[in-house]
Structure 1
């Protein structure tokens, strides 16, 4: 069976059930798990599905534009390991901030059954968490189509009205010198989340650790923890800080 026929069957199953499992997919299509994983990755890159750990979920074209879906699908397994660890630190009754990063977005799948309140500026997070146990507080402001999120003065004023026990945030870079961003809008709203939360977790894959962009917006002691797949060598730069490092495989 060629890729086009496999693609059709995969998409048909997604339409029926909303998700597929790699092991079951391989058995049903009589292909190897390696081939099934490669097919799902290709379809994710085309914006046709959302990769999860061990499978894929249907992409709602009204909820997540292809550019964001593609970004969220990159390094899906790593992001899911990070987010599964993050979800272990979220308990019923928590009030949490979630930003508009593609890694933080993947946290949604692991918290849908938790009785918590999420305050977010991310449109994909809002769509992903609708009709589940999570209560959502939507941050208003100017809509940024590229980031699929709200930013600006009104958004910052909204955040300033609330206090959360925990914040789960992404960054463009993090080192012992601090947190780094590629955008002043992102830096500003991330700083607001940090200021208004009691405990801040930064979720980032190893490519972000040790990376410094042109814009440093916070010192490392302004956050409490990093959840990452970076190895001990990359994380050695934090040995003289009070940071809690939560490593995933």
Structure 2
């Protein structure tokens, strides 16, 4: 099968599913995974698709806003394993930041009985921690209804008034070259929370590892600890950049 025919089939599958994995494409098209990777790289360079760590996404899926509910429903088992490990480092009397990421949200279920203070821009986090032992401080600003989060200039000013022992944050992608976000607003909040924290935890399921996105907003120096269920060679690259890595099994 020629490259043109393979590319046509790949685009058909992306149109149907929005996102596809290399293994899936290899099976559907009947070629090796090596060939699929090569084709995806060529097609991404030509602007035909968006290359992810494990496959590809339809371009329109990359630029389309994704609701919090949709993101929160993905990779639950992995997110819970990541957050269970992260929660083990949270002690009574800690003051922590939790951002609006769907992975960080899963942290709530593991900290409800801890006597801590949480500062967050996430409306779901506030709702989840009501009537628990946790004291909650909701950051003020403009509400993004799709992301169920508070953003904007006032949010940054609010964050700057507080200091936390730990921040539990997420990103759209992380590589050895840096951290990536889907919007300037989310990047701005991440930077603000990190700058006001003694220790920054990045909570990333395997789908975020090796992935780039719309905006590279910082290098890895922003992060102290990466918690992930990914177990590939990229972890060595992260450790060489000075990150501590907590690898979990989901």
* TM-score, normalised by the number of residues in structure 2: 0.71
Q: Which whole-Å CA distance do the structure 1 matches of 2:149 and 2:232 have between them?
A: 34
Partner of 2:183: 183
Q: Matched residue of 1:166: which SS?
A: strand
Partner of 1:222: 222
Q: Matched residue of 1:212: which SS?
A: coil
Number of aligned residue pairs: 184
Q: Which whole-Å CA distance do the structure 1 matches of 2:208 and 2:154 have between them?
A: 29
* TM superposition shift of 1:68: 2.8
Q: Matched residue of 2:86: which SS?
A: helix
Compare 211-220 and 194-203 and name the one that shifted more.
211-220
Partner of 1:106: 106
* TM-score, normalised by the number of residues in structure 1: 0.72
Partner of 1:125: 125
* TM superposition shift of 1:210: 1.3
* TM superposition shift of 1:221: 1.1
Partner of 1:197: 197
Q: Matched residue of 1:133: which SS?
A: coil
Question: Unaligned 5+ residue runs, structure 1?
Answer: 1-66
* TM superposition shift of 1:239: 3.7
The one-character-per-residue Cα deviations of 1:180-224 (angstroms, maximum 9, x if unpaired) are 101000001110011110100000111111112231111101210
Partner of 1:134: 134
* 1:1-249 equivalences in 2 (<5 Å): 67-249=67-249
Q: Matched residue of 2:96: which SS?
A: strand
Q: Is the 8 A contact 2:176 2:234 kept in 1?
A: no
Q: Which whole-Å CA distance do the structure 2 matches of 1:111 and 1:229 have between them?
A: 20
Question: Unaligned 5+ residue runs, structure 2?
Answer: 1-66
The one-character-per-residue Cα deviations of 1:133-192 (angstroms, maximum 9, x if unpaired) are 000011000000111010000000000000100000010011111111010000011100
Q: Matched residue of 2:208: which SS?
A: coil
Q: Which whole-Å CA distance do the structure 2 matches of 1:211 and 1:165 have between them?
A: 28
Q: CA RMSD in A?
A: 1.3
The one-character-per-residue Cα deviations of 1:12-71 (angstroms, maximum 9, x if unpaired) are xxxxxxxxxxxxxxxxxxxxxxxxxxxxxxxxxxxxxxxxxxxxxxxxxxxxxxx53342
Q: Matched residue of 1:232: which SS?
A: coil
Q: Which whole-Å CA distance do the structure 2 matches of 1:159 and 1:182 have between them?
A: 20
Q: Which whole-Å CA distance do the structure 1 matches of 2:134 and 2:106 have between them?
A: 15
Partner of 1:49: none
The one-character-per-residue Cα deviations of 1:81-137 (angstroms, maximum 9, x if unpaired) are 000001001000000000001110010000000000000000000000000100001
Q: Matched residue of 1:106: which SS?
A: helix
